[in-house]
Amino acid sequence: MSSLPRVAFLGTGLMGSQMARRLIGAGYPVTVWNRSRAKAEPLGGEGAVVADGAAEAVADAAIVITMLTDGPAVTDTLFGAARVAESLAPGALVIDMSSISPATARDHAQRLAAHGRRHIDAPVSGGVSGAAAGSLAIMAGCDETDFAEALPAFAPMGRATRVGPSGAGQLSKLANQVIVGVTIGAVAEALLLAAAGGADPAAVRDAIRGGFAESRILDEHGRRMLERNFLPGGKVRTHIKDLDTALAEALDSGVTLPLTQNARDRFAFVRDAMGGGGYDHTALLLQLEEAANGARVGEGKDQLPG
């Protein structure tokens, strides 16, 4: 029997399933739950216990990790019909790794404290590949004692950094999403400029790598653009949700984010005018090509979901 604490993992979609696998591989006893049980079933064959309900999943867990679609989904799971908050074991630590608003994360922390339970907001960056490799960037908002307790569980999933008190993890994720969204646009524009002017965009990408323009976005998303691979990955609709949250937070804080607004509106065009809400966020390129008088990055056929 493992001496490690039992973990309940709620939400086993593309990201959550890989993160749960990392914990199973590290020797943690893991119970999994997902609204659509079929998404959790494969983990049952890899050593996890598959629970029928969220309340059942958390009943004997020392650590409860949520990886859900958005703030309302987390709120409903914790405090709605799923009855997770009232079913938590005494002393349980809830780690919400979903991407939600800072205000919602702070509200969850306060409501769980009223139940005598602890909370960390710890959203992640790194995508499905980072989740599978255990190389996620984990941004935690919590007190130092709870962070120290959570570190061993974070370790199989990636590199965790405490960035401040409750809600600060979500602020850090918003900053991440601003950088990713704006940089995807910059890479798309750069490759489109190269293609429109007669240069080989693949060669241009190779040439500028290692200089000041080097980034993971240029590496991974630039390659996707050249391959015309718009299969998700990080979805357009999810990135819009995060940028909307960032813009709302900026408004509340009295700052303006014009580059973020521009990127958000271009993602929205892909979602609304091109039916691309489920495309990878690299598909921002498609919006730029739409107005580029026939200029196109990459030679192949578009790879699109569905």
Give 210's contacts (C-beta < 8 A, 6+ positions apart): none
Name the residue with tokens 């029928």. 52
Name the residue with tokens 């005598």. 116
Residues constituting the chain: 306
Average pLDDT of span 227-233: 95
Distance CA 125, CA 26 (A): 20
Look up 173 and say whether it is catalytic.
yes
Confidence of residue 297 (pLDDT cuts 50, 70, 90): very high
Average pLDDT of span 46-59: 96
Give 16's contacts (C-beta < 8 A, 6+ positions apart): 9, 34, 67
Catalytic, out of 39, 173, 235, 301: 173
Amino acid at 236: V
Give 253's contacts (C-beta < 8 A, 6+ positions apart): none
- The SS3 assignment for 203 reads helix
The pTM assigned to this predicted structure is 0.91
What the block records as the tokens of 106 is 């702070």
What the block records as the tokens of 282 is 């690299």
Give the pLDDT of residue 99.
93
Domains defined along the chain, listed by start: 7-165 (3.40.50.720), 171-290 (1.10.1040.10)
What is the CA angle 214-245-79, rounded to 5? 125
- pLDDT tens digits for range 68-86: 999 999 999 999 988 899 9
Among 270, 301, 300, smallest CA distance to 285 is for 270
- Hey, which bits of 63-123 come out as E strands? 63-66, 93-96, 118-121
Confidence of residue 3 (pLDDT cuts 50, 70, 90): confident
Distance CA 276, CA 285 (A): 12
Among 133, 213, 118, smallest CA distance to 166 is for 118
- pLDDT tens digits for range 246-273: 999 999 999 999 999 999 999 999 999 9
Distance CA 184, CA 131 (A): 20
Residue 223 has pLDDT above 80, yes or no: yes
Helix then strand then coil, in percent of the chain rounded to 5, is 55, 15, 35
